[in-house]
Every structure is written in structure tokens, then in C-alpha cells.
């Protein structure tokens, strides 16, 4: 974003300058003292840890000022301080003011699975015609979205924002910061059940993106998901549906798989049809693409621009991309996250690819609530039923994946368990064989990317 003066920042946040030159300019903002950069304005967020305790660390990294809501010890006169009643609210208010000032079209994307992939696809499709801001990584909560908006540049015409929820009301908060012009719901599936307890509660949380959208917004909804259709039934404005059924406004048909080279399919957008190559082999990513096409169409992106852009889409790190390694190993790096629906899709989808052996390195699936044991055992059965040759189960809950696989007939000699990803990484290179297809997938907290890193170190990329 363009730099703002300290006094302007204080006014926008309803804060008071405690010390510092009012004309000091700030163009970068942060909440993690470990990542503070020279010239940054640090927000001391009070959460599980109190950010006020880390103001000195932020200053040591070069931050020039801090926004505080509590007293802190004396700081040097070279550092600015702004006092506000609530640092979280101040961060969100400042972000909202920047958005209102520049007024780009906002595409808000929520759903149980596929938010980040849909966000990346949407931003990529729009980029030939729009200057686009997209939320970084999975910056999709009440803090990450605000930080993303504070990077908005005056020339950017569209903001593609991921909106996640781990509790009721969270998406409503996000829409207050950034009311969508286009509201996308990818799907509703059993994730975060530790916090929501039922699919109905998950659906209610996702509906908040529609409740908080602008009056003239377009809803882009999964036409094949009954729960998404149910919560969208009362939507007052323009609606676009995406999916594989004939009733969808954006749909894919006649899918022809090309192995690890992806697939081709017939893309139909209202009355236009074209066969197009999609460079991903997960069919589930095709639904994310259809959502992205719907969102882009809502901003009047020409069909031909989308057709040109789809074959140029590139994989996202940790999200199912193919890495070719030495000894003709094919590594599917899906290490960023895992949940029952996505894991089932990966195990089934990759089983259709030709391979001498298939090796699954599977970590815990977190935040699944009371049914977590059932979900993990079911995943183990899917490993066996889809013909995977070797299972490495990583983490406490993943031991239940191993149990499920054994119960479904996978021999003991082909099931290995590890307490941590570090332990699995130490053994993985001795266990794989030439021409293996390897899937690595687990929830973020299990850090299965360490297995990916070891394989890439030991078998250099081709």
C-alpha cells in the first residue's frame, strides 16, 4: 500500500499518539515479532501470548513503531507508539479503511476444502486483465485477512481473499472488514468438527459470507453440493452455480485423464463451450477451477481470456503438485493439510495413475472432533482398498490409519508407524524404490513437509 503518516494511522484507528513524530511514514505492518522488518508498524495483539511482551523484540528487528493497548516499559524516542482500546480491532479498522479508500472488487472465498487453490486459480485467471491483490498463503482469519489488505496498492482493481472459519461468527467478522462483491462457497465437508460439532453448524458458518456480502453481490455456489445449495436458497442477488451436473452455469464434462500430465475436459460457461487442457491430475481441483471460472465471470472476464489462462496454471507448494525426483520417483507433495474428504480423493485419484508401487505417507488429520478415530480408521481402509503398496503412518492419530489398513487386509510388512515426521523422514529414503509413486499428506501440525524435504535432498529433482 502507499505509505501512511503516523497521525493519519492514529485517526483511522481512533487511537492516540503516545510518542513519535506524527509525520513518520509507515508502509508495512506486522503482528509477529519474529518476522518484524525495518520500518514496520508492529501491532501488539493479545491472544494466547501477549504481543506487548514482544514489542522490544520487534524494535530489535527494526520495527519503527508499535500499536498498543496496554502499558509497556519505556522505549527509545526513535520509536513511535500509538495507544488504542483494542489492537485487533485497530488492525481490522485500519485494513478496512485502506480497502474503502482504494475500492477494488472483492472476491471472498470460503468452503471446507479448496479455498486456497480456488483463490490461486482465480487470481491467476484474472491477472491478464486485472491488477490483483490476493491474500498470502492461507491468511484467512481475522488477522491474516487484515494484514493482506494492508498490502493493497492503489492500482489494484481486484482483491481475492480467502475467508476461513474455526468458530461461528468468524466469517461474519471478515465480511465486515471486506464485504465481498463476489462470494464463493466451494463445498461443505466434515472439517473443523472439533469446533463446529456438526455439518449443519459448518454450513451455518459458511453462510455468513452471503449474509455479509454487498447488496448487489454475485454468489458463486457449488451446484453439486446439497448443503451449499440449501444455504444459498434464500440468496437475494445474482447466482452462478458450478459443478459437473447439467444444471450448473459453469460445468465440466467429458473429462479425459492424461496421467500426471493432467486432463482435458469440456468447459461450458452459460452458452459457451470449449475443450481445454487442465495441467492437474486431481479431479477435485477441477471443481476449484470451475469456482474460479465462475468468480472471474462475475467480474466480466472474457471467456477467451480464461481459456488461454487455464493451461498456464501452476501447482501450489504443498497442495498436490508433482515433483519428479531421481530414480524415476514421482512425489505428490500434498503435505500442507489433510481432511477425510481430500484424503479419500487423493487415495482414489492417484490409484488410477500407472505406477510400479504406490507409497502413502499419511499424517494425522486434526480438528475432526468426536469422530476422529472413525475418520482415521476409514482412511486406512481406503489405503488398502485402493491398492496402495506401502503405508507410513505418522503421528498419534495416524496409528489408527495403520489399524484400518491392517484390518482391511494390508499385510503387516507393508505398514509402518512413526511418532513424528522427523522419524519418518529419517527412514523414507531407505524404504522407497525406483519408479515409486509417493503421496505425502497430513495436517499442518504434523509437519509432513519434512518427509518431502528429505526426499528432495536425497533424490535430486529432475
Residue where a domain stops, chosen among 312, 345, 363: 312
Residues 81 and 227 in one domain: no
Please check whether residue 48 lies inside any domain of the structure.
Answer: yes
Q: Residue 462 pLDDT more than 70?
A: no
Residue 95, domain member (yes or no): no
Q: State whether 196 and 230 are in the same domain.
A: yes
pTM (predicted TM-score): 0.89
pLDDT at residue 195 tops 80: no
Q: 312, 331, 363: which is the final residue of a domain?
A: 312
- Please enumerate in sequence order all residues whose Cβ is within 8 A of that of 449, keeping only pairs 6 or more positions apart, or say none: 318, 333, 335, 336, 421, 440
DSSP string, 80-131: EEEE-S-HHHHHHHHHHHHHHHH--EEEEEE-SS-HHHHHHHHHHHHTTTS-
Q: Do residues 251 and 268 make contact, with C-beta atoms less than 8 angstroms apart?
A: yes
Residues 68 and 174 in one domain: no
CA 334 – CA 353 distance, rounded (Å):
16
Are residue 370 and residue 437 in the same domain, yes or no? yes
What are the C-alpha distances in Å from 25 to residues 28, 35, 80, 425? 10, 20, 11, 46
The CATH number linked to 256 is: 3.40.1190.10
Share of the chain above pLDDT 90, in %: 86
Residues 19 and 112 in one domain: no
Q: Indicate if 112 and 243 belong to the same structural domain.
A: yes
Which of the listed residues 260, 293, 312 is the one where a domain comes to its end? 312
Tell me the per-residue pLDDT of 226-256, one tens digit each, with 9 for 90 and over: 999 999 998 989 999 999 999 999 999 999 9
Distances (CA, A) of 151 to 2, 28, 159, 181, 202: 8, 8, 10, 19, 30
The CA distance from 349 to 135, in Å, is 29
Residues 304 and 166 in one domain: yes
pLDDT per residue as tens digits for the range 397-407: 999 999 999 99
Q: How many domains does the chain have?
A: 3
pLDDT at position 1 is: 66
- Whether 96 is covered by a domain: the verdict is no
| Domain shared by 245 and 375, yes or no | no
| pLDDT tens, position by position, 249-290 | 999 999 999 988 899 999 999 899 999 999 998 888 999 999
**135/282 same-domain check:** yes
Domain span at residue 347?
321-458
Together in a domain, 424 and 361: yes
Amino acid at each position: 500500500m502507499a505509505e501512511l503518516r503516523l497521525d493519519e494511522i492514529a485517526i483511522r484507528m481512533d487511537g492516540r499518539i503516545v510518542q513519535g513524530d506524527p509525520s513518520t511514514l509507515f508502509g508495512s505492518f506486522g503482528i509477529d515479532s519474529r518476522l518484524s522488518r525495518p520500518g514496520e508498524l508492529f501491532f501488539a495483539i493479545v491472544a494466547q501470548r501477549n504481543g506487548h511482551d514482544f514489542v522490544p523484540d520487534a524494535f530489535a528487528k527494526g520495527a519503527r513503531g508499535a500499536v498498543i493497548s496496554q502499558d509497556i516499559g519505556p522505549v527509545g524516542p526513535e520509536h513511535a507508539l500509538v495507544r488504542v482500546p483494542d489492537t485487533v480491532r485497530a488492525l481490522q479498522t485500519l485494513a478496512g479503511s485502506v480497502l474503502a479508500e482504494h475500492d477494488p472488487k472483492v472476491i471472498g472465498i470460503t468452503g471446507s476444502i479448496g479455498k486456497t487453490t480456488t483463490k490461486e486459480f482465480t487470481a491467476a485467471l484474472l491477472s491478464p486483465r486485472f491488477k490483483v491483490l490476493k491474500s498470502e498463503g492461507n491468511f484467512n482469519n481475522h488477522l491474516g485477512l487484515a494484514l493482506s489488505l494492508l498490502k493493497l496498492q492503489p492500482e489494484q482493481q481486484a482483491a481475492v481473499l480467502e475467508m476461513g472459519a474455526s468458530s461461528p461468527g468468524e466469517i461474519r467478522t471478515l465480511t465486515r472488514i471486506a464485504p465481498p462483491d463476489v462470494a464463493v462457497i466451494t463445498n461443505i465437508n466434515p472439517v473443523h468438527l472439533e469446533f463446529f460439532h456438526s455439518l449443519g453448524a459448518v454450513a451455518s458458518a459458511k453462510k455468513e459470507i452471503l449474509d455479509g456480502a454487498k447488496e448487489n453481490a454475485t454468489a458463486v455456489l457449488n451446484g453439486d453440493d446439497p448443503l451449499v445449495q440449501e444455504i444459498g436458497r434464500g440468496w437475494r442477488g445474482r447466482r452462478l452455480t458450478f459443478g459437473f451436473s447439467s444444471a450448473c452455469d459453469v460445468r465440466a464434462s467429458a473429462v479425459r485423464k492424461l496421467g500426471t500430465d493432467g486432463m482435458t475436459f469440456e468447459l461450458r460457461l452459460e452458452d459457451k463451450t470449449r475443450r481445454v487442457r487442465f495441467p492437474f491430475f486431481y479431479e477435485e481441483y477441477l471443481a476449484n477451477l470451475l469456482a474460479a471460472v465462475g468468480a472471474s465471470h462475475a467480474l466480466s472476464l472474457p471467456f477467451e481470456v480464461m481459456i488461454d489462462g487455464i493451461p498456464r496454471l501452476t501447482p501450489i507448494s504443498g497442495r498436490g503438485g508433482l515433483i519428479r525426483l531421481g530414480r524415476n520417483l514421482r512425489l505428490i507433495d500434498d503435505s500442507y493439510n489433510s481432511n477425510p474428504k481430500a484424503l479419500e480423493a487423493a487415495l482414489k485419484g492417484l490409484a488410477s495413475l500407472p505406477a510400479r508401487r504406490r507409497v502413502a505417507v499419511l499424517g494425522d488429520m486434526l480438528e475432526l472432533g468426536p469422530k476422529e478415530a472413525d475418520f482415521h480408521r476409514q482412511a486406512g481402509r481406503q489405503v488398502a482398498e485402493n491398492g496402495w503398496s506401502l503405508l507410513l503412518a505418522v503421528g498419534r492419530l495416524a496409528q489408527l490409519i495403520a489399524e484400518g489398513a491392517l484390518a482391511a487386509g494390508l499385510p503387516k510388512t507393508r505398514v509402518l508407524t512413526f511418532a513424528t515426521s522427523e522419524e519418518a523422514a529419517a527412514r523414507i529414503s531407505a524404504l522407497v524404490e525406483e519408479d515409486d509413486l509417493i503421496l505425502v499428506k497430513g495436517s499442518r501440525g504434523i509437519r509432513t513437509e519434512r518427509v518431502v524435504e528429505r526426499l528432495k535432498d536425497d533424490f535430486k529433482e529432475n
